[in-house]
């Protein structure tokens, strides 16, 4: 399926998805018949083997994109300093996926503040071409609309790097009366939503309200913005999360329904067409 934007989830399989995805030999193959990208969150915690990467490449079409996170040792433990060898080793392992790699996610901790911007620019400038990245910040100063945020945004624009927009407003508007929502609110950062003017394809990470319909008001402004980007010739990335990601496909369906009402000619999503194959990671 050809989409004018990238649509995905934070993982490519979940037991609750088995009856909704098309048939296929593996979880990734089934997922990639509906979605054209995925967040590679697992690489933040552990690096796969090169053999795993070869298997993943064989299971996705050429227009699919993986957005892998740089390992925690690089972004959080090393804070981007002195990590050249670790980065190169990581990239060498992912080499079988080279033609299906989207921008790598440089997810920075709240401890990474304005005084460290020089380290960020040194890090991204040293990445080998044609590798691209996108940057997600958590320090409060980068959301204060002051000089620190201006310096961050200016540096990203100069390098044509997208600033990840992490939107958890719907999640934090929910009453935490179930374990999944309590856990998500505990783990996810509660930050303002700041969108950098587009100098690269935008990356949106949307964390939903556990009540599906409660998301509609939060999604509609994004639908308008995403549609505008598409009409301007950009191909943004939209990742859809839920407190319990077993519910993520329902939220994807709502997102897509609203976008179809805004943009003509979008193909239907191939959800609800599958059997019950368990798939393999």
Q: Tell me, what's the pLDDT at 107?
A: 97
pLDDT less than 70: residues of the chain: 1, 273-281
Say if 172 falls within a structural domain: yes
CB 26 within 8 A of CB 280: yes
Number of C-alpha atoms within 13 angstroms, CB side, residue 175? 1
Degrees, nearest 5: CA angle 67-70-73: 160
Instruction: Report yes or no on 92 lying in a domain.
Output: yes
pLDDT digit string (tens) for 202-218?
999 999 999 999 999 99
For residue 157, tell me if it sits in a domain. Answer: yes
Which residues span the domain enclosing 248?
6-262
- Separation in Å, CA 184 to CA 42, 95, 153: 17, 33, 28
Cβ(205)–Cβ(164) under 8 Å? yes
With respect to residue 280, please indicate whether it lies within any of the assigned structural domains: no
Q: List helix spans (H) across the chain.
A: 27-31, 50-58, 72, 84-93, 117-126, 147-158, 169-172, 179-187, 216-231, 248-262
Number of domains in the chain: 1
pLDDT score, position 77: 96
Question: Looking at the chain, how many residues does it have?
Answer: 281
Return the pLDDT at 270: 86
The answer as to whether 273 is a domain residue is no
pTM exceeds 0.75: yes
pLDDT in tens, 61-86: 999 999 999 999 999 999 999 999 99
pLDDT for residue 196: 80
How many beta carbons lie within 10 A of that of residue 179, not counting itself? Answer: 10
> Considering only CA atoms, which of 275, 224, 223 is closest in space to residue 7?
223
Q: What is the pLDDT of residue 273?
A: 47
Query: How does 114-124 read in b/e, with b if 16+ C-beta sit within 10 Å?
Result: bebbebbbebb
> What pLDDT is recorded for position 164?
97
Which CATH number goes with the domain that contains 234? 3.20.20.410
């Amino acid at each position: 399926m050809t989409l004018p934007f990238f649509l995905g989830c934070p993982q490519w399989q979940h037991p609750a998805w088995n009856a909704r995805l098309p048939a296929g030999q593996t979880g990734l193959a089934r997922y990639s018949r509906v979605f054209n990208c995925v967040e590679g969150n697992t690489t933040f915690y552990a690096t796969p083997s090169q053999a795993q990467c070869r298997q993943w490449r064989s299971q996705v079409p050429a227009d699919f994109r993986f957005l892998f996170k740089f390992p925690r040792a690089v972004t959080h433990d090393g804070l981007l300093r002195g990590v050249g060898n670790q980065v190169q080793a990581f990239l060498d392992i992912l080499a079988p996926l080279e033609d299906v790699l989207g921008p790598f996610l440089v997810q920075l901790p709240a401890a990474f503040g304005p005084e460290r911007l020089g380290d960020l620019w040194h890090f991204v400038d040293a990445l080998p071409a044609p590798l691209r990245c996108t940057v997600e910040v958590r320090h409060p100063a980068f959301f204060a609309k002051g000089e620190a945020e201006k310096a961050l945004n200016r540096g990203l624009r100069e390098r044509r790097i997208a600033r990840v927009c992490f939107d958890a407003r719907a999640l934090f508007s929910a009453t935490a009366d179930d374990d999944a929502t309590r856990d998500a609110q505990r783990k996810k950062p509660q930050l303002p939503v700041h969108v950098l003017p587009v100098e690269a394809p935008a990356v949106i990470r949307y964390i939903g309200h556990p009540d599906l319909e409660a998301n509609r008001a939060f999604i509609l402004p994004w639908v308008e913005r995403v549609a505008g980007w598409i009409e301007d010739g950009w191909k943004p990335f939209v990742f859809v999360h839920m407190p319990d990601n077993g519910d993520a496909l329902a939220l994807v369906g709502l997102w897509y329904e609203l976008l179809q009402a805004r943009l003509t000619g979008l193909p239907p999503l191939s959800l609800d067409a599958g059997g019950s194959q368990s798939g393999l990671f």
